Amino acid sequence: MSLDLAVIRAAQARIGPYIKYTPVLTNEALDAARGARLHYKCENLQAAGAFKSRGACNAVFSLTDAEAAHGVVTHSSGNHAAALARAARLRGLAAHIVMPTGAPQSKVHNVASFGGRITFCEPGLTAREAACAQIAAATGAEIVPPFDDYRVMAGQGTATLELLQDVPDLDFILCPVGGGGLLCGTAVAAKALKPGLKVIGVEPALADDVAQSFRAGRRISIPTPATIADGLRTNCPGEKNFPLIQQYVDDIVTVSEEAIIAAMRELWDTLHMVIEPSAAVPYAALLEHKFVFGGRKLGLILTGGNVDLAAVPWLK
């Protein structure tokens, strides 16, 4: 299996009953401020509050009964964990979630609210992967990685099928980049449906593993990033993701922490959407004029809305 339009269309049919067809918003004030026609795909309104429900549902409902018999397992401190726990519950499976000690209480609560069985481990990718593998070996649970997985990428690509159905004549799609799950699904879907459409990945400058790798032509690892965009703190593009990014993505640009916070505030203030810092990253690229987009028609994927309301960044 790899990733192509047919696989993404099959994912769309599979997950339809379990996820939301989210609205695309426009805002005349923001268009005037930015000098472009902006279309916001509101995945903050997705089930469990993030696009991650798409990939998690596709993975869970792709499993054969034999593969599903012992549940699923992943390591994540964020939206993928909650989405996988929810998807597993919808199919009546156990979901084992490895979370690092010190994960925010709100994220722990979110996973628990969907019935996820939480195992805490030391922070750091090595400890997390080891704990995940150990649980998989002990229970027979199927591992569902957060991004380095074709089933997950195909599910994430369904957001772009919806976006292009609602707004067929986009010139650009802007997409936040963590490990590349959403970016690959987006780019493969978009280029298949409209080859002239440009797909731009946007990454925090503090977490620029994919931007560095894209320029170097090989996967580069960086130390664990400290960006406020907690959904994008990956330190290396996925092994399956990187070749797809090289083939289908037009550019990767990076943005400052200041721009991410300013973008988040502007979208709360004017679009009236609660979005998490990771979701503000594409709009931050417009604030920092990271590419030429004047007057064009842009789609921005607002990836999620799970944020701690007691710690809004501009009120700290």
Q: Where does this chain touch a second copy (CB under 8 A) — which range of 6-14, 21-29, 156-164, 292-300? A: 21-29
Q: Is 77 designated active site?
A: yes
Residue 134: partners with Cβ closer than 8 Å, 6 or more residues away? none
With CA atoms as reference, report the closest residue to 198 among 304, 285, 263.
285
Asked if 66 is part of the footprint of a second copy (rule: CB under 8 A), the reply reads: no
Nearest-approach distance from CB 149 to a second copy, in angstroms? 25
Of 139-168, which residues contact a second copy (CB under 8 A)?
none
Q: Which position among 53, 62, 76, 77 bears the catalytic label?
A: 77
Nearest-approach distance from CB 288 to a second copy, in angstroms? 21
Is-contact 60 93, C-beta < 8 A? Answer: yes
Is-contact 301 186, C-beta < 8 A? Answer: yes
Q: Where does this chain touch a second copy (CB under 8 A) — which range of 72-80, 200-208, 282-290, 304-312? A: 304-312
Nearer to a second copy, 21 or 126 (CB): 21
Asked if 268 is part of the footprint of a second copy (rule: CB under 8 A), the reply reads: yes
What is the spatial distance between Cα 138 and Cα 117, in angstroms, rounded to a whole number? 14
Q: Is 2 designated active site?
A: no
Asked if 28 is part of the footprint of a second copy (rule: CB under 8 A), the reply reads: yes
Asked if 310 is part of the footprint of a second copy (rule: CB under 8 A), the reply reads: yes
Q: Cβ–Cβ contacts within 10 Å for residue 176, how many?
A: 30
The beta strand positions in 81-231, using DSSP E, are 95-100, 117-121, 142-143, 172-176, 198-204
Nearest-approach distance from CB 193 to a second copy, in angstroms? 24
Asked if 47 is part of the footprint of a second copy (rule: CB under 8 A), the reply reads: yes
Question: Which CA distances in Å does 105 have to 83, 146, 225, 233, 299?
Answer: 16, 20, 21, 18, 33
Residue 109: partners with Cβ closer than 8 Å, 6 or more residues away? none
Nearer to a second copy, 13 or 315 (CB): 315
Q: Which residues are catalytic?
A: 52, 77
Contact footprint for a second copy (CB under 8 A):
23, 25, 28-29, 44-45, 47, 49, 113, 265, 268-275, 305, 309-310, 312, 314-315
